[in-house]
Amino acid sequence: MASSGGNYDCVVIGAGHNGLITAAYLAKAGKKVAVLERRHVLGGCSTTEELWPGFKVSTASYVVSLLLPEIIHDLKLKQNGLKILPRDPSSFTPTPDGQYLLLGHDVASNANEISKFSKRDAEKYPQYNELLERIAAVVEPILMKTAPDPLPMPKDWRSIPLTKKFRDMSRLWSFYQDFGKLGGEIPEAIELLAGAARPILERWFESEPLRATLATDAIIGAFASISAPGTAYVLLHHVMGEAGGKRGVWGFVEGGMGGIAAALAKTCEELGVTIVREAPVQKILTSERGAQGVELADGTSYEAKVVASSVDANLTFRKFLQPEQLPADFLRAISNLDYASASAKINLALAEPPQFTAYPGQGLSPIHRGTMHISPTMDYIERAYEDARFGKPSEEPILEMTMPTSVDKTIAPDGKHILSIFVQYAPYELRDANWDDIKESFADRCVAKIAEYAPNVPGAIMHRQVLSPLDLERVYGLTGGNIMQGAMNFHQLFAMRPVAGWADHRTPVKGLYLCGAASHPGGGVMGACGKNAAVEIVRDF
Ligand SMILES: Cc1cc2nc3c(=O)[nH]c(=O)nc-3n(C[C@H](O)[C@H](O)[C@H](O)COP(=O)(O)OP(=O)(O)OC[C@H]3O[C@@H](n4cnc5c(N)ncnc54)[C@H](O)[C@@H]3O)c2cc1C
């Protein structure tokens, strides 16, 4: 006989940071909550695993900035152990001819660095950042709250209560007024929100190391060329968030990215939330009244009138529900979602830090605290994309490397290091190969590319983990390996995430909500999806 896991006000599917945040806010509102996590570790894509004795590795995500300050405060994350260590400098970009560009948060030293390549760019860089900051200040409030819906969707798509329409209109009106304050910069704001990164960067700057450093940010996690509309939007992330201590400063989490989930789990425990690990949900249970709970793969059922799913929309609607439980139009929109992805992750344990020929020296140096880019020109990025477009991993991949051990002594044995390498483009869909056959040789190619700039790296490798896009799907439950739970294209953002008309975390099944990166404002360790979902759930209670 199938066993019962108990009766709750709300069951949350998945203990990524968003699922845990939803659970904590609901418990704070007096609800009885259970979180069911498929894996043995918490945090989802923001996790720490001791892969090799003494090496505590942030296996997927590696830096944080966007985590909302009010979440850190409301959920007492600092008191419960969360410590964010600022990343400064922010980036180090060596060039093939032995030069480098080091950027950070000091205006004067940025000017010195950039003027090595272009005096004009050095003057323009602060103006560029100020523009981004002004635009981000207008956009950020709309990102951090439930998405208001301006779309004239027909009644048979979704019948929206008048109270919600008024709420949305009033929020849209204030956004409209704030947007107006940008004055003559409105066209630039629209281009940043919907346009391509490359033409913007080419207009602003003339030196390739600076252009390429900024352009790399634009395609992180996206299967897109920097010339494709939509890529400029991520440039804004560069100046957003303040989890690193100051606006726009990104940071490492002490103990690894799983430190966020560890602090959240402690808060959840204090609030009486039940967290069950190794509890894979396979079905969302419904009746004509709406959601009734979930069933695990082993048949255990958890009863609840509210189910909040932090996994992606494909799993939530196409795996956990049957087609007849959803309106056909909605299901068609979900089936059309874009999960294209081209990211892989390589984690290395190193006996010594990388020694770059462009920055000679022994041991640790300031460059190791920033993100080290192997992505020297915009044409290099375009060529890397071209390979992937035709179903091949880039011949010369873009590598974004961080070394958290440069600031955190708690995650590796004395004197040893962890190098986290985020790789583009590694397309999930390969034309003539299988990721399980080629991932190690692809990783060899990535290491060889690093060795062109830091020759000691191959000889310093003690251990290596390679996560192909297929592994990202298998390990973290990301459809198509998409690191954002669905591409962050304009038509899959804001009021259209996951699909038009359903961006307020509610779904066509009464009592079923989305609370993870599949919902507005999307991927990234931000917590807004989880918090806003809880606000809407409590409103409906
Ligand atoms: C390789 C990689 C690098 C990244 N780097 C960064 C970065 O540096 N900075 C940044 O801000 N963002 C980064 N991101 C994106 C960011 O990590 C994610 O967008 C974010 O963590 C998503 O959080 P979430 O809680 O919404 O979902 P997830 O973290 O995806 O959590 C969903 C949870 O649901 C669980 N689950 C899946 N199926 C089931 C099931 N059937 N039953 C129960 N549970 C289930 C999963 O195991 C997981 O724990 C990265 C992502 C990846 C993959």
- Domain span at residue 528 reads 4-47+66-83+255-338+486-540
Cα distances from 196 to residues 192, 235, 368, 522, in angstroms, run 8, 10, 30, 19
43/128 Cα distance (integer angstroms): 35
- 152: confidence class by pLDDT, cuts 50, 70, 90: confident
In a domain, 9, yes or no: yes
In a domain, 321, yes or no: yes
- Closest atom of ligand 1 to CA, residue 20: 25
In a domain, 90, yes or no: no
Total structural domains within the chain: 1
472 C-alpha vs ligand 1 centroid, how far in Å? Answer: 10
CA torsion, ordered 451, 455, 457, 460, to nearest 10 deg: 150
**Cα 529 from chain centroid (whole Å):** 12
Per residue in 387-443, pLDDT (tens digit) is 999 999 999 999 999 999 999 999 999 999 999 999 999 999 999 999 999 999 999
Residues 6+ apart with CB under 8 A from 169: 148
The answer, yes or no, to whether residue 305 has pLDDT greater than 70, is yes
Q: Is omega for the bond preceding 498 within 30 degrees of 0, making it cis?
A: yes
Q: How many CA atoms lie within 13 A of 258 on its CB side?
A: 16
Say if CB 291 and CB 511 are below 8 A apart: yes
- Closest atom of ligand 1 to CA, residue 529: 26
44 C-alpha vs ligand 1 centroid, how far in Å? Answer: 4
147: tokens are: 């998405």
Q: What is the pLDDT of residue 237?
A: 78
422/443 Cα distance (integer angstroms): 11
Write the DSSP assignment of 442-509 as a string of letters. HHHHHHHHHHHH-TTHHHHEEEEEEE-HHHHHHHH--GGG-TTSS---GGGSGGGSSSTT--SSB-SS
How many helices, marked H, and strands, marked E, lie in the chain? 16, 18
Cα distances from 260 to residues 7, 63, 156, 264, 387, in angstroms, run 28, 11, 41, 6, 36
Per residue in 2-18, pLDDT (tens digit) is 799 999 999 999 999 99
- Closest atom of ligand 1 to CA, residue 19: 25
Map residue 16 onto helix, strand or coil.
Answer: strand
Q: Does 480 sit in the ligand 1 pocket, CB within 6 Å?
A: no
Q: Does 13 sit in the ligand 1 pocket, CB within 6 Å?
A: yes
In a domain, 317, yes or no: yes
Q: Does 210 sit in the ligand 1 pocket, CB within 6 Å?
A: no
Q: What is the pLDDT of residue 1?
A: 57
Q: Is the dihedral of CA 375, 376, 381, 386 positive or negative?
A: negative
Residues 6+ apart with CB under 8 A from 131: 185, 188
478 C-alpha vs ligand 1 centroid, how far in Å? Answer: 8
The predicted model gives 318-322 an average pLDDT of 98
Q: Residue 89's CB: how many other CB atoms inside 10 A?
A: 19
Q: What is the pLDDT of residue 289?
A: 93
Q: Does 241 sit in the ligand 1 pocket, CB within 6 Å?
A: no
274/258 Cα distance (integer angstroms): 19
51/60 Cα distance (integer angstroms): 12
4/305 Cα distance (integer angstroms): 15
- Closest atom of ligand 1 to CA, residue 44: 49
259 C-alpha vs ligand 1 centroid, how far in Å? Answer: 14
The answer, yes or no, to whether residue 532 has pLDDT greater than 80, is yes
Question: Which of 7-16, 212-221, 325-334 is predicted least confidently?
Answer: 212-221
Q: Does 280 sit in the ligand 1 pocket, CB within 6 Å?
A: yes
The answer, yes or no, to whether residue 516 has pLDDT greater than 70, is yes
Q: What is the pLDDT of residue 238?
A: 75
Q: Does 237 sit in the ligand 1 pocket, CB within 6 Å?
A: no
Q: Give the CATH number, domain containing residue 71.
A: 3.50.50.60
Is residue 445 exposed (0-12), middle (13-18) or buried (19+ Cβ within 10 Å)?
middle
In a domain, 267, yes or no: yes
Q: Is omega for the bond preceding 397 within 30 degrees of 0, making it cis?
A: no
In a domain, 511, yes or no: yes
Q: What is the mean pLDDT of the chain?
A: 95
Q: Residue 435's CB: how many other CB atoms inside 10 A?
A: 22
Residue (of 478, 516, 526, 472) closest to 12 by Cα position? 516
Q: What is the pLDDT of residue 141?
A: 86
Q: Which residue has the tokens 């967290």?
A: 275
In a domain, 351, yes or no: no
Q: What is the pLDDT of residue 361?
A: 87
491: tokens are: 């038509």
Helices (H), 273-405: 313, 328-335, 378-389
Map residue 276 onto helix, strand or coil.
Answer: strand
The answer, yes or no, to whether residue 307 has pLDDT greater than 70, is yes
Q: How many CA atoms lie within 13 A of 42 on its CB side?
A: 21
Ramachandran region of residue 241, left (φ > 0), alpha (ψ -120 to 50) or beta? Answer: left
Say if CB 305 and CB 533 are below 8 A apart: no
Q: Does 427 sit in the ligand 1 pocket, CB within 6 Å?
A: no
Q: Does 16 sit in the ligand 1 pocket, CB within 6 Å?
A: yes
529 C-alpha vs ligand 1 centroid, how far in Å? Answer: 12
Per residue in 52-92, pLDDT (tens digit) is 999 999 999 999 988 999 999 999 999 999 999 999 999 99
498/207 Cα distance (integer angstroms): 38
Give nearest CA residue, ligand 1 atom 10.
Answer: 524
Map residue 277 onto helix, strand or coil.
Answer: coil
Per residue in 225-283, pLDDT (tens digit) is 999 999 998 888 778 877 767 777 889 999 999 999 999 999 999 999 999 999 999 99
The predicted model gives 130-156 an average pLDDT of 89
Q: Which residues pair with 346 in a beta bridge?
A: 421, 466
Per residue in 157-206, pLDDT (tens digit) is 998 888 888 989 998 999 999 999 999 999 999 999 999 999 999 999 99
Question: Which of 14-23, 167-176, 202-211, 289-298 is predicted least confidently?
Answer: 167-176
327/13 Cα distance (integer angstroms): 22
- pTM, full prediction: 0.97
In a domain, 164, yes or no: no
165 C-alpha vs ligand 1 centroid, how far in Å? Answer: 31
Whats the size of the chain, residue-wise?
541
